[in-house]
Amino acid sequence: MREVLPLDKLDEGEKGKVVDIVGGKGFRMRLVQLGIIPGVEVKIAKSAVLGCPLMVEVNNARIALGRGVASRIWVEKIE
């Protein structure tokens, strides 16, 4: 069964495939510039305590995302 959840709900080391980005055109375009688009695989490289940014691996690069941003990126969890 397919499990779809916000990116910030994945644990450190877990992977997901981006299925949706919730936000306006400017928000979505900013994520496109970072390489975060529907269909791309992302991995939580580092997940610190609540309130701290997530370190996400996408396209062989590491990107820090605030939890508010990550909560608007919906992913299908990859086992």
Which CATH number goes with the domain that contains 68?
2.30.30.90
Number of domains in the chain: 1
Write the single-letter amino acid at 7: L
Location of structure tokens 């909560």: 71
Residue 79 has pLDDT above 90, yes or no: no
Q: Among residues 4, 71, 10, 72, which one has the least CA distance to residue 42?
A: 10
Q: Where are the beta strands (DSSP E) in 1-79?
A: 4-6, 15-21, 41-47, 54-58, 61-65, 73-78
Write out the residue range of the structural domain in which residue 40 sits. Answer: 4-78
Angle at 6 between CA 8 and CA 1, to 5 degrees: 125
Predicted confidence (pLDDT) per residue in 30-74, tens digit:
999 999 999 999 999 998 776 689 999 999 999 999 999 999 999
Give the pLDDT score at 12. Answer: 93
Give the pLDDT score at 43. Answer: 97
